Structure 1
């Protein structure tokens, strides 16, 4: 059973003997708490066994008296050190931080997080490029069926919603442009507005936003779920590269179909604007088409087709990157999916601004 824990004083030294176990402590904690004399050290050379409760009693007494603990066996000394390291003050009320410092701290955290995310996206882009190079070097590793399936998800299934959105945007552009230009008797220039802004900017930009909300979120949710169910780890275990099997087909589908969706969106928007011009401004469709051919340069079409695959790559990489970052629990899937959509739309708009400056500098205006 072991000996009951006892203590005795020898000069300035307090010596504890027996077993410091919960079942053998007896009233030792109470007697130690009531000890009021001064001692120079706490001798535990007579201790046979000790558990966490016993270590806590010894640590608390030595800390209150401010004396060293001596004579303890090495294995029991480690337990006492672990109990001592866990003895930390607990703050029940958060430290007051001024509103200015709190806002400044949150801004700093957001900047640091943005920088880390940007570096992660760049690294993920590099890994995607390497996977593409490996597939080119070993064509048999290209997953044709997976890529074609992504074509349907990204492109064919999106035709309805993209077409409806573009048609309504074309009507809105024509209506608002006509209202403003009517003040100067220049309603005919509504055709210029519709043709140039849809082919050059809004057609591709709105399509990119729609694809980011539709396909980018789907990519993040799909890969995030696969991460939680350890399917990605299983693929690595059997020697299949997740970059080649999961990321590359989605990226290629977005890159290849964005120009087609962008052109389709621009065409539907032009049709919507032409319908309003016919009904409200009484401009016949033949005149509308002829005017478009006169005022819209072919470079506007080139601008939209050049931007589209870049936007598609950004959307796919942002969605796949966030999906591959999912860890822990199912809540991460929703959080990462939201982050994928926000980041994709933000990067698309930023790149669109850079493209606008670039094409203006080379004379494509």
Structure 2
């Protein structure tokens, strides 16, 4: 005859006790007063405007301080020319200049086509077809070529600068450089500044050629102005100052793009999402500052009668 061992006394007696304690604890939690849910404070319009203004002023001051630090780092490089890394400089020129030739050339060519087409539609009514040469020449050399080149480089290279430096900040590579006694601004920012100062003016000249070529094609197809006639008048009426002004503006635009991109990249804090935010801010701010600088150049050139 098989016998079954009775359950331990503590098991039979302990289960109801645990159930009672759990029930009492649940009742006590339900009876306890619940604290109100914390909600984010709501700020009024004036408060939000003030906060945004203070944040913008703080960012402007930080950018000015960053430009000063870059200038001091450049002075240090001048005292120690051996600190230059020429291979890095040539690599930056290749990435920021040579690789951008196709997109800049195509965009400038199409822009020249648009300018000539819009001008031809108006000049045809007054029998002033030949003046399309001046329209395309001055528009491309003084304004559109340096501006469109800078906007393309701001979206292409400015974002790359911010993403590269932001990733290095997140990966603590900037701290590692400082630990090794390497100045981050000298090693990372100045090669980009020098490379873009060389690349963007040359890209602007290339955009001038492509834009004028696009204008020539449209002038021949819409106004019956041949290539030889267009080239002859272009050489007689266009002045070298128009080209020099456009190249000078491109040099300033290059510094704006590099400084804004590197500044936003080095301000990265947190993880990958911060890299994306700073990259977006770098592109938006660089394009805005380039257009604002172009407007200031236009006013200054008008006042100086250039």
**1:197 and 2:139 correspond:** yes
Match of 1:345 in 2: 287
**1:280 and 2:222 correspond:** yes
Deviation at 1:170, TM superposition (A): 0.6
**1:178 and 2:120 correspond:** yes
d(CA) in 2 for partners of 1:290 and 1:244? Answer: 48
1:321 to 247, 263, 275: 263
d(CA) in 2 for partners of 1:113 and 1:194? Answer: 43
The structure number with the bigger radius of gyration is: 1
Question: What do residues 132-182 of structure 1 show as CA deviations (whole Å, max 9, x unaligned)?
Answer: 111111001111111111000000000011001111111011111111222
2:167 to 211, 222, 225: 225
Deviation at 1:251, TM superposition (A): 1.2
Q: Could you say what secondary structure the match of 2:271 adopts?
A: coil
2:297 to 338, 351, 355: 355
Which range moves more in the overlay, 295-304 or 155-164?
295-304
Match of 2:69 in 1: 127
**Structure 1 pair 232–93 and aligned structure 2 pair: CA distance change class (3 A):** closer
Question: What do residues 205-254 of structure 1 show as CA deviations (whole Å, max 9, x unaligned)?
Answer: 00000000000000000011111111111000010010011011111111
Match of 2:17 in 1: none
**1:159 and 2:91 correspond:** no
Aligned pair count?
279
2:204 to 238, 245, 262: 262
**Structure 1 pair 190–245 and aligned structure 2 pair: CA distance change class (3 A):** same
Deviation at 1:277, TM superposition (A): 0.7
Match of 1:147 in 2: 89
Deviation at 1:294, TM superposition (A): 2.6
1:312 to 232, 238, 254: 254
Q: Where is the strand percentage greater, Structure 1 or Structure 2?
A: 1
d(CA) in 1 for partners of 2:223 and 2:49? Answer: 50
Question: What do residues 107-136 of structure 1 show as CA deviations (whole Å, max 9, x unaligned)?
Answer: 333332222222122111111111111111
d(CA) in 2 for partners of 1:119 and 1:94? Answer: 29
d(CA) in 2 for partners of 1:90 and 1:130? Answer: 54
Q: Could you say what secondary structure the match of 1:183 adopts?
A: helix
d(CA) in 2 for partners of 1:109 and 1:206? Answer: 34
**1:299 and 2:241 correspond:** yes
TM-score for the superposition, normalised by structure 1: 0.72
RMSD: 2.3
d(CA) in 1 for partners of 2:262 and 2:294? Answer: 21
Deviation at 1:201, TM superposition (A): 0.5
d(CA) in 2 for partners of 1:95 and 1:107? Answer: 15
Q: Could you say what secondary structure the match of 2:305 adopts?
A: coil
Q: Gapped runs of 5+ residues in structure 1?
A: 1-25, 34-88
TM-score for the superposition, normalised by structure 2: 0.85
**Structure 1 pair 236–302 and aligned structure 2 pair: CA distance change class (3 A):** same
Whether the 8 Å CA contact 2:109–2:214 is kept in 1: the answer is yes
Deviation at 1:282, TM superposition (A): 1.1
d(CA) in 2 for partners of 1:170 and 1:266? Answer: 9
Q: Where is the helix percentage greater, Structure 1 or Structure 2?
A: 2
Deviation at 1:279, TM superposition (A): 1.7
Match of 1:111 in 2: 53
